[in-house]
Amino acid sequence: MVTVRQAQSEKSVVLSFDDGPSKVLPQILDILKQQDVPAMFFWQSSLLYPARPWQRVLDEGHIIGTHSMKHRNLVQLSYEQQHQDIRNSMAHIEKTTGTSVVYFRPPYGRFNSNTLKVANALGLTTVMWRIASMDWELKSDPHKIIQYATENLEDGAIILLHELEQTVAILPQLITAIKEQGYGFSLLPTKE
């Protein structure tokens, strides 16, 4: 059975953050909590260790998915190498958090048929995005992140963000801009 966790609004978007857990994660969580916004985090599991605030992520209603072990381009790996990387990433996240990993986002958004076969074999739902904020390229002009993320909003869109300082700097304004266009925030369907 699939359920959708959705905000009060009729139309909604999903905020997703890649490449963590990072040192700015607590700041991102503070903003999300203040704004009452759920989000999905796709983590490189090599960056996850017990001292990171992973428990807070779960306690505050967010979702943790895998983004591989070390952010390698999976297309360059064999089926077996991809399987090992993704399986090990899942196992590390699950061992650390005690929570099953359901979602997977391939590094760089690059995947091939082997990647999809591996995800399927491991019971993962592959999650891409509809809107790229370009936050990784906009350190010198972070307000453009808001423009890139909001100019093509549509119901159900997944917005790609990263755990970066420039993203933290504009996140409150980004959330406000999305709300001003009549959108709420939701998470992807979860299996029950």
Query: Would you call 124 helix, strand, or coil by DSSP?
Result: coil
Q: Report whether the peptide linkage leading into residue 21 is cis, meaning its omega lies within 30 degrees of zero.
A: yes
Q: What is the pLDDT of residue 35?
A: 97
Rounded to two decimals, the pTM is 0.92
pLDDT tens for 18-28 read 999 999 999 99
pLDDT classification of 190: cutoffs 50, 70, 90: low
Domain boundaries, the chain: 2-186
Q: From 3.20.20.370, 3.20.10.10, 3.40.50.2300, 3.30.450.20, which CATH number describes the 2-186 domain?
A: 3.20.20.370
How big is the CA angle at 13 (ends 115 and 16), to the nearest 5 degrees?
45
